[in-house]
Amino acid sequence: MITKAVCGKGKKFTQETHSVTPSHRPSSILGCWVINHLYNAKKKSDDAVEVNGSFDINIWYSYNDNTKTEVVTERVTYCDIVPLSIKDDHCISDEYDVICKVIQQPNCLECTIAGKGHKINVDIEREFLIQVIGETKIYVRVNPKGHNEEDDDDMWDYAVTDDELETVDPHFHEATSKD
């Protein structure tokens, strides 16, 4: 039988530092946010998927000896190559659907003043999970004799045991109906 199934899986965690140059020499960092994350994924080769994306880093900082504040925004683009650690070598088509799930949105780990006080370094993390869907062959076992009673759900023993009966409160209904 031929069906669509997961033909490949991969996962990638990235941690990197971005350097932002504000218009004023910062005195202190008041806050840092990563927003507006956009991304798309496409199969790059038999062994990898390429994730291209972008996000904005917003840094709120003080300057002029902590007397004034400003927010600096910088757009960051990235390209992550996610290796496929699990692959089905029996895929029969060259057309694939790529499902890219964000496990960890781009997030600020640390934001510090660097470069003799003229730059701000931002440590960012992100993580993706990739699934590649394609056509593959599967084998379905068929019982030539038809129905097998051993596989029938009705054959399971659902009898109540003595241990289970000991935990039943016989006055349960009376207590709940008084409320």
pLDDT of 150 over the 90 cut: no
- Which segments within 44-96 are labelled E, that is strand? 48-63, 68-83, 86-87
Tell me what the pLDDT averaged over the chain comes to. Answer: 86
- Residue 122 is assigned to a structural domain of this protein: yes
**Across 152-165, average pLDDT:** 61
Element (H, E) at 43: strand 26-43
- Residue 176 is assigned to a structural domain of this protein: no
Number of structural domains (the chain) is 1
pLDDT for position 154:
55
Residue 39 makes CB contacts below 8 A (sequence gap 6+) with 51, 52, 53, 54, 100, 102, 128
Burial 45-79 (b: 16+ CB within 10 A, else e): eeebbbbebebebbbebbbeeeeebeebebebebe
Q: Which domain holds residue 76?
A: 2-137
Contact 19, 123 (CB under 8 A): no
- Residue 16 is assigned to a structural domain of this protein: yes
- Residue 13 is assigned to a structural domain of this protein: yes
Share of the chain above pLDDT 70, in %: 82
**pLDDT digits over 46-81, tens only?**
789 999 999 999 999 999 999 999 999 999 999 999
Residue 120 makes CB contacts below 8 A (sequence gap 6+) with 19, 20, 21, 22, 26, 29, 59, 61, 72, 111, 112, 113, 114
- Residue 90 is assigned to a structural domain of this protein: yes
- Residue 170 is assigned to a structural domain of this protein: no
pLDDT for position 173:
61
Q: 149: pLDDT confidence band, cut at 50, 70 and 90? A: low
Tell me if the pTM is above 0.85: no
